[in-house]
Each structure stands twice: as C-alpha cells, then as structure tokens.
Amino acid sequence: MEEKGLFTSVFRFGHSSIRDFLAACAKVDEIQASLFPSTHCQALLDEALRSDAGKMDVYLRFIFGLLKERCMFQPNNQLFKYTKKTILEKVMTFRAVGLLHCLREYDRKAFVHEIKLFLKYGFSPIEGFAPLHWHLLIQRTIAYDWKRPKFVMDVSMRSDESLVRELPAIMKSTKVMLRFSNLTDMCCPALAAVLSSTESFMKELDLGYNNISDSGVKTLVEGLNNENCRLRTLSLQGCEVTSKGSKCLATALRQSQRLRQLDLSRNNIGNDGLQHLSKGLRSPECQLEALKLSQCNIEVRGCSYLASALEKNSDSLSVLDLSINMVRDKGASEIFKKLDISKLTKLEMYHCGLTASSCRAIGEALRREENTLMDLNLSNNNLGDEGLTLLSIGKSKWCHLEKLNLSRCGITAGSCSFLPSMILDLNLSSNSLGDDGIKSFLAVLKNSSGYLQTLNLSRCSLTRGCCAELASTLGSKTGSVTELDLSENDLEDKGLRRLCVGLRNPQCKLQKLSLQTCGLTSKSIKSLISALRSNPKYLAELHLMGNRLEDSAVRALLDLTKNQTYRLDTTDLSEA
C-alpha cells in the first residue's frame, strides 16, 4: 500500500515475509561489502539464536538463499560448518528446525553425506557429538530430506489451486499420480518448475484424463528439456493433445535423454502429429523404451512416418502400443518391414483392422532365435484360422511368449492345434472354438510340461461336452492353471458337475474360477461345495453372477467364506 507524504512516498507491505526479504537483500549487500563476510554471517546467526524463537527465521532463510544465488561462499566455507555444529548442539530444540531450514536454502542435501557416514560406520562425522545427537537429527531431517515413493491428490481437493498448494509434497515424490484431477493448462507452469528443479525427485508423472491442451504441453516441455529434469515416465493419456503438442514433445525426445516411457493414448495425434513425433524418435539422443499411441487416430501414412523413424533409432524400444488405430495390413507391413519386432518385449495391436496377411511377419519374428517378444495382443482383428496357422506359435522352439491375447479373432476348432502350450497367460475369449477345438488344445496342453496359469475361454461356444477334459486337465499332475474363465458358455448343471471332478482333486491348484451366465442352477452348487470341501486350500475367488441360484445355495457358499478352513474369500453371486 502506497502512502504519499509531503516530499516522498512510503510503501507498506501487508505480509511480513516481503519486509524480511527486502531486509535480507540489504543485509547481504552489507555482508558482501565487508572484509570478513563469513564472520559477519556467523555473528548474524548468533544474534538470531539470542532473539525470540522464530522471530528471525524467515529473514535468515532469505539470507542463506541469497548467499547461494550470488555464489558468495564455497560449500566447505566455515559458515556452513559452524551452522551444522550449532544445529547439532540445539538438536533437542525447535531452533534446530529453523536453522536446518536455513541451511537447506543453501544446500538441499545438507547433512545427507554426514548421516550416511554415521549410519554406515556408527561414529560421529563431526567431532564432539554423541550418537544420540545424530539419531535425533535423523528424526528431524527425515520429514524434509527423504523422498516419498508416491503422491496421489485427495479426491475432494482435485484442482489447479490444490496442486499448487501440494507442490512441496510433489517435489519430494518419485511417482506423482494426477490422473482425473480436474487439472488444466494453468497447473503446467508449476509442474514445469518442479521438473526443472534440482531439488525434485520426480521420475514418473501421470497427467491422464485432464484438460491439458497443446499450450500446457508446450509449457511442460520447457521443464522436460531442462538439464536438471529426472523424469523417466510421462503419461498424457486422454488429454487434449493434438499434432501441435506432438511437435513440442518431439523436442523433448531429442533433448530429454532420461525420458524412457511416453503414453499419448486417447489423444487426437493423427498422422501429422506422428510425423512431428517421429522427428524426435529418429534422433540418436532419444532413448525411449515404451511408446503408447493407442486410439490416436493413426492410419497407414502415420505408420510410414513411425517406421522410418524406428528404422533409424529403435535399439532401446521394447514396448509399442498401436491399439485401436485403423492401420490395417498395409500400415502394419510398413512397420514390420523396418522395425525388428522380435527385439520388442511387448507389442499391442488390438483392433487395428488386421487380417491373416499381417500374421506371417509376426510369426517369422517369433521363430527367430534372438526373439524376446513376451507379450502379444492381437485381439479384435479378423485373423481367422489362417492367421493362427501363419503365426504357428505352438510349433516354434524359440517362442518366448508369456502372454497372448487372441480374443475375438475369428478362430475356430480347425486351428486349435497351433495354439501355444508353453505360455503363462492365454486369452481365447469370443472365438467359436467349440468343444472339439478345446479338446484338441487340451490334448496338446496335457503333453506339455505345464506352464499355463491363466486361461480365458469365455464366449467360446462351449457346452458340457468339454467339461470332462477340462476337469482332467485341472486335476492332472502337470496341471498348472490357477485362473480359469468359462463365462457365457452353455455348460449347465451337468457341465459344472463334471468340472467339479477336477476341482476336488488335491492336485488342482485353481485359485480363480469365473462361471458367469453359464445356465447354472442351485442343483449343481452342492457338487461345487463338495469339491471345495475336498480341496479347500486353493480356490479363493468365485464368480457366478447371471445364474439362477436360490437363496439357500447363495448362503451355503457365503458360509464357506466365513470358515477359515477354506481360502475362498471373494464371491460374486448376484443374479443377472
């Protein structure tokens, strides 16, 4: 507030910290002009200790910050040694906390080296102090110096304003989860400042499903491009990023050598955006390991740009997600010709308009000796039996797949002998395999060493005709299946009773069973309960929603969850 006098104007500041800052500036000018600046500072520190508690804390913090800003002293200056000794002497009082804040204004990692030495060797790195002093100091510093593993904003406080108030906590966290936080471009300058700060521990930032537009991305990139930025993972999933934002992110890919994972899924990047992004991807400085572009409106032309970039620089890339983009066989071919997908560990091409013609290149990659691909998602593509035959996954000794998703791919019983048996997680849901197809696959599985743990056969046109073979597989010595989904198949009560023969076998290790909408009634629940009583140690999760179960059957199953003899603790028994 300005007050005008006869010859001069006087300004009054409402907040005392502004007066403290101006006074600190004047004092540092005086210290800088003195012959013995460090002695002058020590005298000031002593004066603060003699004053009322807290009276000079903010003023002193500004002075230490200005000393750093003006580079007046070296880190080994006598002033800082004196400050450390004073903190240890006063470690039992709140004075120590105030001085610790002052010291941290100059050196964010103050005492970190000394504390590590004490913890490692058990003696005081500063002469004259007992272990008790150091234990108390550690208690004082742990809240300020030690990083936190994760920050999640409280649901009731999600907004740009709340984020600014939480910046100190965000600064200390390695993983910052801000998904669905009602954020806009207004928060981006603050986040960019955190990213560029030497005091930030942030390595992972998730801004998914916020109103972050190209303008906000441009601001974030300023922080990403800063040499101090430690960020390794950035998610902008479901924001409002377009080709303009991609152009900004391309500069980050060229300059931010620490960035390893980028998720731009569910943004309208388009072919033009991928063209911009590819300019960053082809740079030798780009060390990206995971690139997720699911549902980004990418077509054949975009695949051509991406393929050219990855041909130049793909040594570090291990995860590629192009799901829900109509790239079709032509776009996939562009990528497969220039990118050796056998060097990836995960490839997601769900709902990409692919047919059997794309499967030949994938099959060849899986059969290479140097192949490292472990997770493959080709679901919701019209591959058909011809596509599965071309993959020939079950015939390759070099195939290292652990997870395969072929849901809704038009596969029938005719190609089931080509399905893999040496795999951990297999999803075949929504294919017309029928009883004969499953019997064929189970015969292959029975002769294998038993690796399969998760098997999804929901909506596969199965009936009770395959349940005896399924029971035999579950109860065999080589059986390894722990999760089985048979939902939306017409198994009926007879099918479940046959399945229970395997469930009651002590060798059955099934932990999760889904039988939703399988035409079951209460008649078969007695067999299920009997099987659980015979083999109570494994099954923990049971889903029976959508079946016609009477209250008595439901109560009988719920009683098992209350009995500690049984592992069963999760049941979904609601009627459809």
Instruction: Provide the residue-wise pLDDT of the chain in tens; the chain has 576 residues.
Output: 677 766 777 776 666 778 888 888 888 888 888 878 888 888 888 888 888 766 788 888 888 888 888 888 887 888 888 888 888 888 887 778 788 888 888 877 778 778 888 888 888 888 888 888 888 888 777 655 567 889 998 877 888 888 888 887 898 899 999 999 999 999 999 999 999 988 788 999 999 999 999 999 999 999 999 998 999 999 999 999 999 999 999 999 998 879 999 999 999 999 999 999 999 999 999 999 999 999 999 999 999 999 999 999 999 999 999 999 999 999 999 999 999 999 999 999 999 999 999 999 999 888 888 889 999 999 999 999 999 999 876 456 667 889 999 999 999 998 888 887 778 999 999 999 999 999 999 888 877 766 889 999 999 999 999 999 999 988 887 778 999 999 999 999 999 999 999 999 989 999 999 999 999 999 999 999 999 999 988 999 999 999 999 888 889 888 888 888 888 888 887 653
Torsion of CA 186, 190, 193, 199, to 10 degrees: -160
**3-class secondary structure, 501:** helix
Q: Which residues pair with 382 in a beta bridge?
A: 355
Residue 93: CB partners within 8 Å, gap ≥ 6?
Answer: none
Residue 63 within a domain: yes
Q: Which residues pair with 426 in a beta bridge?
A: 404, 455
Spatial distance between the Cα atoms of 112 and 125, rounded to a whole number of angstroms:
11
Residue 115 within a domain: yes
Nearest to 185 by CA among 209, 153, 218: 218
Q: Which residue type occupies 208?
A: G
Spatial distance between the Cα atoms of 341 and 319, rounded to a whole number of angstroms:
10
C-beta of residue 525 within 8 angstroms of C-beta of residue 549:
yes
Look-up: residue for tokens 């060849």? 364
- Identify the helix (H) or strand (E) that includes residue 348: strand 346-348
User: In total, how many domains does the chain have?
Assistant: 1
Residue 43 within a domain: yes
Give the distance from CA 24 to its chain's centroid. Answer: 44
C-beta of residue 373 within 8 angstroms of C-beta of residue 365:
yes
CA-based end-to-end distance of the chain: 69
Can you read off the two tokens belonging to residue 283? 């740079």
C-beta of residue 252 within 8 angstroms of C-beta of residue 221:
yes
Residue 134 within a domain: yes
Q: Which residues pair with 99 in a beta bridge?
A: none
Residue 13 within a domain: yes
Give 267's DSSP letter.
S
Spatial distance between the Cα atoms of 214 and 224, rounded to a whole number of angstroms:
15
Spatial distance between the Cα atoms of 108 and 75, rounded to a whole number of angstroms:
11
Residue 126 within a domain: yes
Residue 235 within a domain: no
Domain of residue 109 covers 2-145
Q: How many CA atoms are closer than 13 Å to the CA of 303, on its beta-carbon side?
A: 24
Residue 428 within a domain: no
